[in-house]
Amino acid sequence: MRLPTLLRGAFADALTLVLPVDCAGCDAPDTTLCESCRVALAPHVRRRDIGGVAVWSGLAYEGPAARVIRSLKQEGRTALAAALAPALAAAVTAAGDGDPVMVVPIPTSRAAYRRRGYRVPELVARRAGLRAERVLVAGRRTADQRGLDRGERRRNVAGSFVAARPVAGRRVVVVDDVVTTGATLAEAARALRAAGAHVVGCATVASTPRLVSRG
């Protein structure tokens, strides 16, 4: 069934209310998210420094957290954004050192938006009570990051974002759902700094263990 993009996210949300669902974190029956998986999503903020940018993440991308994020990103289970919101909120607070900051999401590609009908970083930010300001836009086309190693990712994203709104002098935290190599966040920070912003750090819902082991 083809639905207009804007409707698709809302439709997936509505369907979870009427169809039996399993826990997104562990497949326990008849619950969107079971109690033990909720506990596993309690923020545990960690910091990594990647390419001159400090990245705070609320969760490790493993176990129930990774499964819940994948369900949100790939299965249209948008209601799960609320369960991931505390992790992002804690990461943003840590990145901004508790002071007010401008929250700028990594842009969702047109292809991903068409596929999902929603923008994952913005959705989680909204559930966290954060106003995500759509400042960054694509500067040039890039290939899909999946399957590329760290160096290839950095080259692939170089110059891919530009700031489309004035940010000079603003204290900015860049937000995304998951950080893997950090190449996308570093490119976003570069573009914002080029426009005069003071990028105090980046914040993500989760960081991959691969990054942790390299960190």
Angle 215-109-148 from CA coordinates, rounded to 5°: 40
Question: Closest approach of Cβ 28 to Zn ion, in Å?
Answer: 5
Verify binding: residue 192, Zn ion, rule CB under 5 A. Answer: no
Classify the phi-psi angles of 27: left when phi > 0, otherwise alpha if psi is within -120 to 50, otherwise beta: left
Candidate residues 9, 25, 96, 201; the one interacting with Zn ion per rule CB under 5 A: 25
Verify binding: residue 164, Zn ion, rule CB under 5 A. Answer: no
Verify binding: residue 34, Zn ion, rule CB under 5 A. Answer: yes
| Segment contacting Zn ion by CB under 5 A, of 37-45, 76-84, 89-97, 105-113 | 37-45
Question: Closest approach of Cβ 41 to Zn ion, in Å?
Answer: 10
Question: Closest approach of Cβ 23 to Zn ion, in Å?
Answer: 3
Candidate residues 12, 32, 37, 157; the one interacting with Zn ion per rule CB under 5 A: 37
CA 150 to chain centre: 19
Question: Closest approach of Cβ 34 to Zn ion, in Å?
Answer: 3
Verify binding: residue 26, Zn ion, rule CB under 5 A. Answer: yes
Whether 103 contacts 92, CB under 8 Å: yes
Short-list 24, 54, 17, CA closest to 40:
24
